Amino acid sequence: MALATFFKRSHIPASADSVYRWHAEPGALERLTPPGERLRVVSRTGGIEDGARVAFRFGPLRLLWVAEHRDTIPGRQFRDVQVRGPFRHWEHVHRFLADGPDACFLLDEVFYELPFGRLGERIAGNFVRRKLERLFAWRHRVTREAFATPPGRAC
């Protein structure tokens, strides 16, 4: 079965380096998690550099998910790869593409495969796609708002 792909792109009013650093700050995963989502980080080694890992429990069943960071290019990208979790395959590439000195495009690409092949797709495929849409709409909005100029303050 082929990998499913999800893609989200947004324009952010800040440099690629700034947005990358914001994603690398402690607490970024929690900040980028929508309210009401059951997510608790249970361990973390490193930040977002190659080989760093984060383990968290999520959802009503408190499933364990462990992701490893790979292919880090400071200021430009990093990739999360599931090493343990609910998917047969999961990788999430975060890209920060400069659009001049004071803006960038935030791109999220997720390549995934649900467990149980066609049956898993039939049972959970639409749910997972809707969940990704909501999750990344939230993440991109939070990121944009973090770099928005406060009202009444010109740059």
Q: Is 155 a member of any domain?
A: no
* pLDDT at residue 1 in the model: 63
pLDDT at 124 over 90: no
Residue 132's contacts (CB-CB under 8 Å, 6 or more residues apart) are 6, 110
CATH (domain of 59): 3.30.530.20
Q: How confident is the model at residue 137 (pLDDT cuts 50, 70, 90)?
A: very high
Q: Is 23 a member of any domain?
A: yes
**Which of 3-12, 92-101, 118-127 is predicted least confidently?**
118-127
**pLDDT, tens digit, for every residue of 38-80?**
888 899 999 999 999 999 998 777 889 999 999 999 999 999 9
Average pLDDT in the 117-139 region? Answer: 89
Q: Is 78 a member of any domain?
A: yes
Q: Is 130 a member of any domain?
A: yes
Domain hosting 91: range is 4-147
Q: Is 74 a member of any domain?
A: yes
Q: Is 153 a member of any domain?
A: no
Q: Are the C-beta atoms of residues 95 and 77 closer than 8 Å to each other?
A: yes
**pLDDT, tens digit, for every residue of 87-118?**
999 999 999 999 999 999 999 999 999 988 88
**pLDDT, tens digit, for every residue of 59-68?**
777 889 999 9
To the nearest whole number, what is the mean pLDDT of the chain? 91
Q: Is 134 a member of any domain?
A: yes
pTM: 0.89
Residue 20's contacts (CB-CB under 8 Å, 6 or more residues apart) are 74, 75, 76, 96
Structure tokens at 108: 């999220």
Q: Is 103 a member of any domain?
A: yes
SS3 23: helix
> Number of structural domains, the chain?
1
